[in-house]
Amino acid sequence: MKNSKFNNFFNFENKKIGYNAFTNEFVVLDPELFDLYEASKLDSDLDELNRIHPAFYAHLIKKGFIIEDKVDEIENVKKLVREIDIEDDTIYRLTINPTMNCNFKCWYCYETHIKASKMTDVTKVSVVKLVENILLDMPNLKRFHISWFGGEPLLYFDKTVKPILEAIFPKMTEKEVFFTSGFTTNGLLINQNMLNDCKKLGVNHFQITLDGHRDRHNQVRYISKEKGSYDKIINNIHLCIKNEFTTAVRLNVSEETIESLPNIIDDFIRLTDKDKKYLNFSFHEVWQEEKDIHSDIQSIVDLFRRERFTTYFKGINLDTVRNSCYADKKNHATLNYNGEVFKCTARDFKSNLKEGQLNSEGKIDWNEKYFDRLNSKFKNPPCLECSILPICNGGCSQHAIEKRGKDYCIHDYDENKKIEIIKDKFSFAIS
């Protein structure tokens, strides 16, 4: 027997917390037990640990901290990734950009807004044909999910989104495929009539972004210089919850927004426990932020959790193996309004970056970029030696592509940052 290379330990109150990144299991140890375990590691004598404390030894085996000598842990992670990203033919994920236009112009947005962009009738027909072909070609399909992105997708809800959903939703019902759909939106255009349509067409989720509390948010996301959007968006979030749509509130955090974030709690504090089941908050640092504000964010995350809100931060957001990015998966495509096909949605949708093209027969003609992406993982030597490989894997396939040929670590080779991620996972588990 041997110790797993994916074991990690940290202090919590008067205990030692162990975490195995492959099994995703925690152990809570008294200091004496941890010292006993450490002594067995130093002496390279796990048999002695078994003789002294067989129950403890068996518990460590059960949780994956001690494994058989013959186990190839790296190969196990590769196998897990293949099963999830390549071999799973029970689910298909489709992302659609109805437009690249937007009713806001946020300072940090990486997208190039195209005012006149919209999907033609010909492209809409091809999208429906694509869905029909997927249903025909994947006999094991059990779930189908469409994410609406952009741009602001609700700008074209009536002209693009609703007609496509009306065309494909009955086909899902006919094939007994479980269909879900959701919007990544700024939330300003949501209304009751729209939600009524969504209920009939399989939509169950909205992701809506806030940029701090009212004053700061209205400096970034405004209808006009005199009229902000915060109160309208908050009301629409409540409307979604009232209509029992799962609603993820993404909080974009920067040094300027962080001070006012706790005030957002007041706008949701009166929700019932039932209402809270439909709401979660997710904290994300804007990519331009250079100052290390991790500990400040973590303290605010803890405030939200103490008020019994489901709240995600780095530890929960990071699991790029079991909950890998949609772009890592074989059975996923992102369709731009003009029929160009991409995988990643966190980069500009430039024609020279496309990975395929939707044709008039409803088929995607993939190019070499697509196949290159599917084979991009496990090429970075530092990742193969890392204790959190099974939850990190060097980030998503986009990271792997952009860092090809270079040794890299998305956590800056900082072991403390890695432990902070694990601590947040534990904090969420006990909250």
Instruction: Give the model confidence (pLDDT) of 331-345 as tens digits.
Output: 999 999 999 999 999
pLDDT, position 331: 97
More confident residue, 349 or 291: 349
pLDDT for res 45:
84
Under the phi-then-psi rule, with left for phi > 0, alpha for psi from -120 to 50, and beta for the rest, what region is 364? Answer: beta
Buried b (16+ CB within 10 A) or exposed e, 111-144: bebbeebbbeeebbebbbbbbeebbeebeebeeb
- The C-alpha angle with vertex 212 and arms to 210 and 216, in degrees rounded to 5, equals 115
Nearest 10 degrees: Cα torsion 291, 292, 293, 294: 160
Beta bridge partners of 401: none
The pLDDT of residue 159 is above 80: yes
pLDDT at residue 41, rounded to an integer:
86
Query: Which CB contacts under 8 angstroms, 24+ apart, belong to 69-76?
Result: 69/1, 69/2, 71/2, 73/4, 73/5, 73/6, 73/22, 74/378, 74/384, 74/389, 76/22
Residues counted in the chain: 431
Work out the percent of the chain whose per-residue pLDDT is above 70. Answer: 95
Alpha carbon distance 365, 236 (integer Å): 39
- Check residue 114 and give its pLDDT: 66
pLDDT level of residue 317 (50, 70, 90 thresholds): low
pLDDT at residue 84, rounded to an integer: 95
Average pLDDT, stretch 351-375? 96
One-letter amino acid of 198: C
- Architecture per CATH, domain 81-369, reads as Alpha-Beta Barrel (3.20)
Rounded alpha-carbon distances, angstroms, from residue 377 to 93, 309, 374, 393: 20, 35, 8, 8
In the predicted model, what is the mean pLDDT of residues 73-82? 97
CB neighbour list of residue 154: distance below 8 Å, 6 or more residues apart = 148, 161, 183, 185, 188, 189, 190, 194
Is pLDDT above 70 for 289? no
What's the average model confidence in pLDDT over 222-245? 90
CATH 3.20.20.70 range(s) for the chain read: 81-369
Q: Categorize the per-residue pLDDT at 380 as very low, low, confident or very high, splitting at 50, 70 and 90.
A: very high
State pTM to two decimals: 0.89
Percent of the chain with pLDDT over 90: 80
Mean pLDDT, rounded, of the chain: 92
Average pLDDT score over residue span 228-240: 95
Residue 287 has pLDDT above 60, yes or no: no
Alpha-carbon span 352 to 262, nearest angstrom: 42
pLDDT at 112: 57
Taking a C-beta distance cutoff of 8 angstroms, is the pair 245, 225 a contact?
A: no
pLDDT tens-digit map of 95-152: 999 999 877 765 555 455 666 789 999 999 999 999 999 999 999 999 999 999 988 9
Closest CA to 112 of 343, 347, 340: 347
> Comparing C-alpha atoms, which of 327, 326, 359, 325 is closest to residue 340?
359
